[in-house]
Amino acid sequence: MSTHSHDHGHEHGPAGHAGHSHGVTADADRRWLACALALITVFMAAEVTAGVIAQSLALISDAAHMLTDAASIVLALVAMRLAARPARGGFTYGLKRAEILSAQANGLTLLLLGAWLAFEAVRRLISPPAVEGGLMLATALVGIVVNVAAAWCISRANRTSLNVEGAYQHILNDLFAFIGTAIAALVVVMTGFARADAIATLVVVALMFKAGSGLVRDSGRIFLEAAPAGLDPDTIGDELAAQQSVVEIHDLHVWTITSGQPALSAHVLVEPGGDCHAVRRGLQRLLREAHGISHATLQVDHLGEDLGADGLLRISAPPAEQAEHCDEAHGPVHRPGPHEH
C-alpha cells in the first residue's frame, strides 16, 4: 500500500501578501487623505483666530474638535505607511493590523469626545451662556463647506479599510456638528433661544456614539480573531465537508488579517485512496470563488494515516474505527450529511 505525505497547501490571490485590492491604489488613498488634512488644518487655524478675536469659547471648542479630525487623519496616514511594510522577522503578516489599531483609536476618540460634548451640552442646557449668534452662524457655514470638501476627499479613498473609514467618520461627524451649529445659530439669531446650541450638540453626540461604537466593535472583532461579518464558519465547514472524497473537516479557523483580507485554515481528512492534491485545489477554488477567501491554508491527510516512529505514514486503524484524527480538535467537526455543530 502506498503512503501519502501531509499536504500543506496555501494560496494567495491578488489580495495576498501584496495588500488588499480595491481599485484605489494606496498612494491615491494617501493623497486624498493628505488633501483632507490640509483643508482641515487651514480652517482650524482660522477658526482659532476667529475664536480668540471674538472671545468665543464655542468657536475654540469647535477648533479643538477639528484638531481630533486632523489627528485621526495623521494616524490613518501613519498606519497606512506601517501596513505597507513587507513581512519580516517575527511579524509574519507585516504590520497590516496597524490600520486596525488606527481604526480602534479613532472609534475610541469619537466615544470620548462624544462623552465630553454630552457633558458640556447638558451643562449649557441647565445654564446657557451668552452666544454670539452671527459670528457662530458665519463660522459654521464656512465649516460646512470645508468639511464637505474634506469628506469628499476621503470618500474617494478606499473606505472598505476600517482605517480610512475611521478618519471618514471623524470628518462626517464634524460636518454634522457644523450643520447642527448653523441651525442652532440661526435659531439664536432669530429667537434668542440660547439652548438651541446644546440641543443640536446632543443630536450630534448620538451620531458620534453610533459611529464610534461601530468602529470599536468592528476592529475588536478583528483583534479577537472573529470570523469576518458575512462569513459563517459552520456553513463553510459543511460546504467543504460535502465535497467529493472529503470525510471530515476540523480545526477550521476563519479570521481577518486586516480590512478586506479574510483568511482560513483547516485540517481536511480525505477518504483512503483519494487524491489529496486534487481535493485541496478544489477546496481552495471553492473558498476563493464562493466566499472570496484567497488566503487559505489547508492541511490534507488520508483518514486513518498516522506518523510512525520511523517517520513514515501508515494506516493505524480501519476508517470505521477512526473517531477523531486529532487529539484535541479546535471547534466543531464537519462531516458529510446532517450533523450537530
pLDDT for 315 beyond 50: no
Cα distances from 328 to residues 127, 225, 271, 332, in angstroms, run 64, 20, 21, 11
Q: Do you know the residue count of the chain?
A: 341
State the Cα angle at 32 between 151 and 293, rounded to 5°.
95
Question: Higher-confidence residue: 283 or 332?
Answer: 283
Distance CA 244, CA 274 (A): 9
HSE on the CB side for 167, CA within 13 Å?
37
Cα distances from 207 to residues 85, 93, 202, in angstroms, run 35, 34, 9
Question: Higher-confidence residue: 244 or 127?
Answer: 244
Q: What is the mean pLDDT of residues 294-320?
A: 63
In the three-class reduction of DSSP (H, G, I as helix; E, B as strand; rest coil), residue 188 is classed as: helix
- The one-letter amino acid at 48: V
pTM attached to this predicted model: 0.72
- The one-letter amino acid at 218: D
Mean pLDDT for all residues in the chain: 79
Per-residue pLDDT tens digits for 10-68: 554 444 443 444 334 566 778 888 998 999 899 888 878 876 776 555 566 667 667 77
As to burial, measured by CB atoms within 10 angstroms (0-12 exposed, 13-18 middle, 19+ buried), residue 309 is: exposed
Model confidence at 93, pLDDT cuts 50, 70, 90, reads confident
Distance CA 124, CA 122 (A): 5
Q: What's the confidence (pLDDT) of residue 9?
A: 57
Distance CA 102, CA 107 (A): 9
Model confidence at 180, pLDDT cuts 50, 70, 90, reads confident
Distance CA 145, CA 157 (A): 19
Strand order in the sheet with 7-11: 7-11, 295-302, 262-270, 246-256
Nearby residues of 56 by Cβ (< 8 Å), 6 or more positions away: 50, 132, 135, 136
pLDDT for 194 beyond 50: yes
Q: What's the confidence (pLDDT) of residue 339?
A: 67
Per-residue pLDDT tens digits for 126-142: 888 776 778 778 888 99
Question: Higher-confidence residue: 203 or 38?
Answer: 38
Q: What is the mean pLDDT of residues 96-114?
A: 86
pLDDT for 239 beyond 90: yes
pLDDT for 332 beyond 90: no
